[in-house]
Amino acid sequence: EFIRSYYYNKLEYTRFSSSVGKFVGFTEYGVRNAEYWNNDASLLSNMKAQKEVYCLNHIQIEYNNMLTKS
């Protein structure tokens, strides 16, 4: 799962989760940002592609590192 969170003053205001497939806002400001970002199809497709870039390409490396350290 790919998660990108946005914080300000230690407060999470917006999060993108690949399992949900869209931005979710947690504050009034975050809800407005999430609505704006969710209406941008190119931004959503870019964020969904980040799962393949970060997660799927590195899962085997991370899994092997965990096995050797435990």
Give the CATH number, domain containing residue 20: 3.10.320.10
Q: Check residue 70 and give its pLDDT.
A: 56
Start-to-end CA span in the chain (Å): 23
Higher pLDDT: 66 or 1? It is 1
- Indicate the pLDDT class of residue 60, thresholds 50, 70 and 90: confident
Calpha distance 46→38 (Å, rounded): 12
| CA dist 64 → 5, 61, 70 (Å) | 27, 5, 10
CB 55 within 8 A of CB 63: no
What is the count of structural domains for the chain?
Answer: 1
| CA dist 13 → 19, 33, 35, 53, 67 (Å) | 18, 9, 13, 24, 35
Q: What is the pTM of this model?
A: 0.75
For 3-57, the pLDDT digits (tens) are 999 999 999 999 999 889 999 999 999 999 999 999 999 999 999 888 888 777 7
Residue 61's domain comprises 3-68
